[in-house]
A and B are shown apart, each in its own frame.
Chain A
Amino acid sequence: MKESILWLFQIVTGILIFVLLGLHISAQHLGTFGSFPDLSSFAYKTLLFVALYHGLFGLRSVLLEINLGRGAEKAISWLLFLGGLVFFIYYGIMA
Chain B
Amino acid sequence: MAQKEIQIKEVLSDEIVKKVKFKVKKFDPEKDDKPYYAEYDVPVWRGMTVLDGLLYVKEDLDGTVNFRYSCRMGICGSCGMFINGKPRMACMTQILELGTDVIEIAPLPNLDNIRDLVPDSTPFFEKHRKVKPYLIRQDVKEQENPIGEYYQTPEEHEYYSQFSFCIKCSLCYAACPTAASDPEYLGPQALAQAYRYSVDTRDEGFEERVMVVDDPHGCWRCHYAGACSEVCPKGVDPAKAIQLLKGLILKYRLGLKKKRKGAGVIPAHPRPGVKKAPKRTVVQED
Residues of A within 8 A of B (CB): 2-5, 7-8, 61, 64-67, 70, 73
Contacts and interface: CB of A to CB of B under 8 A. Distances in A.
A64 B250 contact: no
Nearest to B182: A65
B253 A65 contact: no
Given A65-B182, A66-B181, A67-B183, A8 B250 contact: yes
Q: How large is the interface on B (under 10, 10 to 19, 20 to 34, 35 or more residues)?
A: 10 to 19
A65 B178 contact: yes
16 contacts: A3-B214, A3-B215, A3-B216, A3-B218, A4-B246, A4-B249, A7-B220, A7-B246, A61-B220, A64-B221, A66-B181, A66-B182, A67-B183, A67-B184, A70-B184, A70-B216
The B interface, classified by DSSP as helix, strand, loop or mixed, is loop
Contacts of A65: 178, 181-182, 185, 221
B240 interface: no
Contacts of A67: 181-184
B23 interface: no
B253 A4 contact: yes
Nearest to A7: B220
A64 B249 contact: no
B207 to A, nearest CB: 13
